[in-house]
Chain A
Amino acid sequence: MSSFQNIGRMLLPIAVLAAGLALWELVVRINDIPPYVLPSPYVVLQTLVADWPVLSESLGVTLLTTLEGFIAAAIGGIALALLFNQSKWLEHSLFPYAVILQVTPVIAIAPLLLIYLPQQTAVIVCAWIVGFFPVLSNTTLGLNSVDRNLAGLFQLYGASRLQTLRYLKLPAALPYILGGLRIAGGLSLIGAVVAEIAAGTAGAGSGLAFRIAESGYRLNIPRMFAALLLLSVAGIVIYALLALVSHLVLRRWHESALGKEN
Chain B
Amino acid sequence: MAEPALSKTDFGAAGLAVRLRAVTKIYDNGVTALGPLDLEVAKGEFVSLLGPSGCGKSTALRLIAGLAAPSAGTVEVSHRASKADGRHPIGFVFQEPTLMPWASVRENVRLPLKLAHATTAEADRRIDDALAQVGLAEFAGAYPRELSGGMKMRVSLARALVTDPDILLLDEPFAALDEITRFRLNNDLLDLWRTLNKTVIFVTHSVFESVYLSQRVIVMTARPGRLAREFRITAPEPRGEEFRTSAEYAAHCREVSAALAPSYFGQRGA
B138-164 CB mask vs A (1 if < 8 Å, else 0) is 000001110000000000000000010
> Which of chain B's residues have a CB closer than 8 A to the CB of A172?
100, 102
**Cα distance A159–B103 when bound, in Å?**
17
Residues from 74 to 100 in B contacting A, C-beta threshold 8 Å: 88, 90, 92, 94, 96, 98, 100
Q: Across the interface, do B101 and A155 meet the contact criterion of CB distance under 8 Å?
A: no
- Shortest distance in angstroms between A152's beta carbon and chain B's nearest beta carbon? 5
Q: Is the interface of B mostly helix, strand, loop or mixed?
A: loop
A167 at the binding interface (Cβ < 8 Å): yes
**Cα distance A155–B90 when bound, in Å?**
12
A154 at the binding interface (Cβ < 8 Å): yes
Q: Across the interface, do B102 and A153 meet the contact criterion of CB distance under 8 Å?
A: no
B111 at the binding interface (Cβ < 8 Å): yes
> Which of chain A's residues have a CB closer than 8 A to the CB of B67?
152, 155-156
B66 at the binding interface (Cβ < 8 Å): yes
Q: Which single residue of chain A is at the shortest CB-CB distance from B94?
A: A149
Q: Across the interface, do A149 and B111 meet the contact criterion of CB distance under 8 Å?
A: no
> Which of chain B's residues have a CB closer than 8 A to the CB of A20?
none
Q: Across the interface, do A163 and B145 meet the contact criterion of CB distance under 8 Å?
A: no
> Which of chain B's residues have a CB closer than 8 A to the CB of A101?
none
B115 at the binding interface (Cβ < 8 Å): yes
- Shortest distance in angstroms between A176's beta carbon and chain B's nearest beta carbon? 13
> Which of chain B's residues have a CB closer than 8 A to the CB of A258?
145
A141-158 CB mask vs B (1 if < 8 Å, else 0) is 000000101101111111
A262 at the binding interface (Cβ < 8 Å): yes
Q: Across the interface, do A253 and B111 meet the contact criterion of CB distance under 8 Å?
A: no
Q: Across the interface, do A156 and B90 meet the contact criterion of CB distance under 8 Å?
A: yes
Q: Across the interface, do A253 and B143 meet the contact criterion of CB distance under 8 Å?
A: yes
**Cα distance A189–B172 when bound, in Å?**
52
**Cα distance A152–B163 when bound, in Å?**
16
Q: Across the interface, do B98 and A158 meet the contact criterion of CB distance under 8 Å?
A: no
Q: Across the interface, do A154 and B115 meet the contact criterion of CB distance under 8 Å?
A: yes
A254 interface neighbour in B62, B96, B101, B114, Cβ under 8 Å: B101
> Which of chain A's residues have a CB closer than 8 A to the CB of B92?
152-153, 156
**Cα distance A258–B101 when bound, in Å?**
13
Also in contact, A171 and B100, with CB within 8 A (given A152-B67, A156-B67, A262-B145): yes
Looking at B65, B98, B163, which has the most chain A CB atoms within 10 Å of its CB? Answer: B98
- Shortest distance in angstroms between B126's beta carbon and chain A's nearest beta carbon? 14
A150 interface neighbour in B65, B98, B114, B163, Cβ under 8 Å: B98
Interface size class of B (residues with CB under 8 A): 20 to 34
**Cα distance A163–B112 when bound, in Å?**
11
Q: Across the interface, do A153 and B66 meet the contact criterion of CB distance under 8 Å?
A: no
> Which of chain B's residues have a CB closer than 8 A to the CB of A154?
115
A88 at the binding interface (Cβ < 8 Å): no
Also in contact, A147 and B98, with CB within 8 A (given A156-B65, A156-B92): yes
Q: Across the interface, do B112 and A150 meet the contact criterion of CB distance under 8 Å?
A: no
A78-90 CB mask vs B (1 if < 8 Å, else 0) is 0000000000000
A260 at the binding interface (Cβ < 8 Å): no
B88 interface neighbour in A150, A157, A252, Cβ under 8 Å: A157
Q: Which single residue of chain B is at the shortest CB-CB distance from A154?
A: B115
A174 at the binding interface (Cβ < 8 Å): yes
Q: Across the interface, do B98 and A252 meet the contact criterion of CB distance under 8 Å?
A: no
Q: Across the interface, do B101 and A253 meet the contact criterion of CB distance under 8 Å?
A: yes
**Cα distance A120–B143 when bound, in Å?**
47
Q: Across the interface, do B98 and A153 meet the contact criterion of CB distance under 8 Å?
A: yes
**Cα distance A172–B96 when bound, in Å?**
17
Q: Which single residue of chain B is at the shortest CB-CB distance from A258?
A: B145
Residues from 246 to 262 in A contacting B, C-beta threshold 8 Å: 252-254, 258, 262
A168 at the binding interface (Cβ < 8 Å): yes
> Which of chain B's residues have a CB closer than 8 A to the CB of A159?
115
Q: Across the interface, do B100 and A168 meet the contact criterion of CB distance under 8 Å?
A: yes
Residues from 175 to 202 in A contacting B, C-beta threshold 8 Å: none
- Shortest distance in angstroms between B87's beta carbon and chain A's nearest beta carbon? 11
**Cα distance A153–B65 when bound, in Å?**
10
**Cα distance A149–B61 when bound, in Å?**
13
B100 interface neighbour in A150, A152, A158, A163, Cβ under 8 Å: A150
Ordered by A's residue number, 25 sampled pairs between the chains whose C-beta atoms are within 8 Å are A149-B94, A149-B96, A150-B98, A152-B62, A152-B67, A152-B94, A153-B92, A153-B111, A154-B115, A155-B1, A157-B115, A157-B116, A157-B163, A158-B116, A159-B115, A163-B115, A171-B100, A171-B102, A171-B103, A172-B100, A172-B102, A174-B102, A253-B103, A254-B101, A254-B102
**Closest A-B pairs by Cβ, 9 of them:** A149-B98, A157-B115, A149-B94, A253-B101, A171-B102, A159-B115, A157-B112, A253-B102, A152-B67
User: Apart from A157-B116, A171-B100, A253-B101, what 8 extra A-B contacts exist at CB < 8 Å?
Assistant: A150-B98, A152-B92, A153-B92, A155-B67, A159-B115, A171-B103, A172-B102, A262-B145
